[in-house]
Amino acid sequence: MNEATYLGRNITQVKAHNLKAILLSLLQNERVYRVELAEKTSLSTTTITNLIDELLAQGIVIEDGPEQTDRRRRVGRPRSALHLQKDARFAVGVHIGFGMFRVALVNLRAEVLDNRMVDFTIGESAEEVMKAITNMINTLIKENKVERTRVIGVGVGVPGLVDHRSGINIYSQNLKWEDVPIQAMLEDRLDFPVVVDNNVRTMALGEAFFGQGRSVDSLIFVYGRIGVGAGIVVDNKVYRGSGLGAGEIGHMVILAENGKPCRCGNTGCLETLVSVPFMIEKAQAVCQQKPQGLLCQHLSKTEGSLIDSVFLAARDGDDDANEIIKQSAAYLGMALANLVNLLNPELIVLGGIYAQEADLFIPEAARVMRQGSFGKLGDKVKVQPTPFVWKAGMIGAAAMALMSFFYMEFEDI
Ligand SMILES: [Zn+2]
């Protein structure tokens, strides 16, 4: 991986570091003046001027015309604001989920230009999946007529334990993968640098820089579908933990007694109360008792997924479906209260089914979180769905590439 070549030629590490400081300021502010950049980055005005000239020449930055009417500056050279040219460079985000992957091509503000989803069979070799991912990345770049020299890198989000430094997926229970060197496998096939991390962690980073988290210093992203996990970002840095497993809240024990067995070997984990497979199991149990009920009618339809049938039944007014969702939302709220007591974030962002059906989950989850958090800690914590909904995984993965290779130093994320 060569981080210093994103401007199209080799530059020194110091210069790359300074450029990244400027680019990060331009990302975080819609318009910035050179004087402000000098203050924000602690670089000299001469350095700023030189680097901005290069970024202007590269087309990465654009400059407004001089502000002739600025009353505060009647003398001297007129000021002109600088902006990021968001379509000057691109990144690729790959979200590997349960039996499918999504690939997105995004610009410098992580706006999706184009995206695709591809199914694969669980148990398929990682080699085959990486081949399919490579093909899809190449297809997207070609079809969107993006020059390969303008692609700064590829980010990959994958379930389970990931060593982001080596880009190895150490263990993924969902995919049945162990020690898969995703970064090396993709870099062998592609001419871009690749960064890999846990998928919910990438979503948290995406939210911090490009979504709901832009105005806060700390956030927790909670994702739930087949599995349940959290990503933690504090002061623009991802918290991974000593063994790279921070955020495995799906295995937080919520029911100490009489809990259901979890795939991790414990019983009563959060996942056994709020994930899709367990909600479907509950719905099917209701269906056996009330075969004529609305919920059962929805579940027996052939189109759509089983979990969507539960949501549809709830929206059609079925009491059992609403009760199943309300219970899950309450357990989720309990887990959120534990998170608030432990980390006291400013913002909790929910993804997966909790964002897809935000109005069904969030009011109850937020109520229980506030009730269960210590003192009045929970009152100030905002709980919001991710604005990216089902795109959160690929936008997060792309954000990991943008932050690692363009806006920041890889080690600082
Ligand atoms: Zn568990």
Q: Ligand 1 centroid to 145 CA: how many Å?
A: 45
What number does CATH give the domain 3-70+80-84? 1.10.10.10
76: pLDDT strictly greater than 90? no
Per-residue pLDDT tens digits for 258-300: 999 999 999 999 999 999 999 999 999 999 999 999 999 999 9
**Ligand 1: distance of its center to the CA of 361 in Å?**
21
Give 57's contacts (C-beta < 8 A, 6+ positions apart). none
Between the CA of 228 and the centroid of ligand 1 the distance, in Å, is 10
d(CA 327, CA 365): 9
| Tens-digit pLDDT profile for residues 23-62 | 999 999 999 999 999 999 999 999 999 999 999 999 999 9
CB of 122 within 8 A of CB of 176? yes
Expressed in angstroms and rounded, the spacing between residue 195 Cα and the centre of ligand 1 is: 28
Chain centroid offset of residue 346 CA: 17
2-24 pLDDT, tens digit per residue, is: 444 455 456 788 888 999 999 99
Query: In this structure, are strands 90-96 and 151-158 parallel, antiparallel, or unpaired?
Result: parallel
Residue 70: Cβ-neighbour burial (10 angstroms; 0-12, 13-18, 19+): exposed
- Secondary structure E strands in 8-158: 61-63, 82-84, 90-96, 100-107, 112-119, 151-158
pTM for the predicted model, two decimal places: 0.93
How confident is the model over 201-214, as pLDDT tens digits? 999 999 999 999 99
User: pLDDT tens across 143-152, in order?
Assistant: 999 999 999 9
User: What is the arithmetic mean of pLDDT over 376-386?
Assistant: 97
pLDDT the model gives residue 123: 87
Burial of 57 (0-12, 13-18, 19+ CB in 10 A): exposed
Q: Which residues pair with 177 in a beta bridge?
A: 172
**pLDDT over 50 (residue 303):** yes
Q: Which CATH number fits domain 215-386: 3.30.70.100, 2.50.20.20, 3.40.50.300, 3.30.420.40?
A: 3.30.420.40
Using CA atoms, how far residue 339 sits from 34, 200, 246, 329, 344, in Å, is 41, 15, 12, 15, 7
CB distance 173 to 358 below 8 Å = no
What does the pLDDT average to over 72-87? Answer: 77
Q: What ranges do the domains of the chain cover? A: 3-70+80-84, 90-208+392-412, 215-386
Using the mean position of ligand 1's atoms as its centre, give its distance from the Cα of residue 267 in Å: 7
Q: Which of 98, 118, 108, 367 is nearest to 229 (CA)?
A: 98
Question: Is residue 331 over pLDDT 70?
Answer: yes
Q: Is residue 204 a contact partner of residue 332, using CB atoms and an 8 Å limit?
A: no
- Residue that the structure tokens 């067995």 belong to: 261
Q: What is the pLDDT of residue 2?
A: 42
**How far, in Å, CA of 192 to CA of 141, rounded?**
12
SS3 112: strand
Identify the pLDDT of residue 74: 54
Question: For position 79, what pLDDT does the model report?
Answer: 77
pLDDT for the residue 4:
43
Q: CA-CA distance, 42 to 289, in Å (whole number)?
A: 68
Q: Identify the band that residue 100 occupies on the pLDDT scale cut at 50, 70 and 90.
A: very high
Residue 328 alpha carbon to ligand 1 centre in Å: 16
CATH of the structural domain 90-208+392-412, one choice from 2.102.10.10, 3.40.50.300, 3.30.300.30, 3.30.420.40? 3.30.420.40
Two structure tokens written together for 107? 């610009």
Distance 224 CA to ligand 1 centre (A): 13
Q: Residues of the chain with pLDDT > 90: what percent? A: 86
Residue 372, CA distances (Å) to 288, 328, 337, 365, 378 in order: 34, 15, 5, 10, 8
pLDDT at res. 173: 84
Say how many Å lie between the CA of residue 278 and the centre of ligand 1.
Answer: 12
Closest CA to 381 of 394, 372, 393, 390: 372
How many other C-beta atoms can be found within 10 angstroms of the C-beta atom of residue 48? Answer: 23
Q: Using the predicted structure, report yes or no on whether residue 73 has a pLDDT greater than 90.
A: no
One-letter identity of residue 70? D
Query: What pLDDT does 71 receive?
Result: 56
Gap between the Cα atoms of 93 and 269, Å rounded: 31
What is the residue whose two structure tokens read 């997207």? 140
| Cα-to-centroid distance, 91 and ligand 1 (Å) | 34
pLDDT of residue 3: 43
With 60 as the cut, is the pLDDT of residue 200 above it?
Answer: yes
Q: How far is the CA of 288 from the centre of ligand 1 (A)?
A: 27
pLDDT per position as a tens digit, 105-117: 999 999 999 999 9
Place of tokens 């024990």: 253
Q: In the block, which residue shows the tokens 């600088």?
A: 82
Per-residue pLDDT of 242-256, as tens digits, reads 999 999 999 999 999
Distance 263 CA to ligand 1 centre (A): 6
Residue 302: exposed, middle, or buried by beta-carbon count in 10 A (0-12, 13-18, 19+)?
Answer: exposed
Give 249 Cα–ligand 1 centroid separation in angstroms.
9
Note whether 3-70+80-84 and 215-386 share their fold: no
> What's the CA-to-centroid distance between 379 and ligand 1, angstroms?
29
List, for residues 135-171, the tens digit of each pLDDT value. Answer: 999 999 999 999 999 999 999 999 999 999 999 999 9
